[in-house]
Amino acid sequence: MTLGLARYYGDNDLHFVTCSCYHRLPILNRPAACDLFLSLLEETRAELEFYVLGYVVMPEHFHLLASEPKRTNPSMALQVLKQRFSRALHCGNINSAQHVWQRRFYDFNVFTDKKLIEKIHYIHRNPVRRGLVDCPEDWKWSSFRFYALGEPGPVQIHREQIAPYSAPKR
């Protein structure tokens, strides 16, 4: 473990995670890469048995709000997801960069309803804040449309965990 980096697992907290592409390169800036990433997130979610409450894929990073996996810990689940994506990206010739991800990731334990809603809003507003779209529902690679419009997306969302949440207004 890296000095100064502490991970807190085992209390069934939710985890707000940010993973960045290598040197913040826009490796996720193409629809095919985003779609691939989300299909692999769903595959990993189902296999390792964790809940996803929210996500957004941005050109050079992603945010994920999820439960702890039943079959492993969050660090291992992210390692599996990132490795699967890197391999698929290289095999599909979607991107030829040798490195895809930064080695570490940011993890914030979420254990209050207030913080949960704050993080979901942050996730969904990220594409608007960055100027990629005018409205969060216009960003295809986030869980916003599930909450706002009831549309199922490529990743199963576990809404029961956050009953008080409603999608932010424009």
pLDDT for residue 8: 63
Name residues whose C-beta falls within 8 Å of residue 95's C-beta, 6 or more positions apart in sequence: 27, 33, 89
- Tell me if residue 83 falls in helix, strand or coil: helix
pLDDT, residue 18, reads: 96
Instruction: Please check the confidence at residue 105 and state whether its pLDDT lies above 80.
Output: yes
pLDDT confidence tier of residue 168, bands split at 50, 70 and 90: very low
pTM of the model: 0.87
In the predicted structure, residue 14 carries a pLDDT above the cut 80 = yes
Question: Structural domain boundaries of the chain?
Answer: 14-162
Of residues 143 and 94, which shows the higher confidence score?
143
Residues with Cβ within 8 Å of residue 12, at least 6 apart in sequence: 67, 68
| pLDDT for residue 54 | 97
pLDDT tier, 169 (very low <50, low <70, confident <90, very high otherwise): very low
pLDDT tops 90 at residue 7? no
Task: Say how many Å lie between the first and final Cα of the chain, rounded.
Answer: 41
Two structure tokens written together for 155: 């990743």
Condensed to tens digits (0 to 9), the pLDDT of residues 106-127 reads 898 998 999 999 999 999 999 9
pLDDT surpasses 80 at 98: no
Top-level class of domain 14-162 = alpha beta
Confidence of residue 89 (pLDDT cuts 50, 70, 90): confident
Tell me 93's DSSP state.
Answer: T
Give the CB-side neighbour count of residue 159, counting CA atoms within 13 A: 15
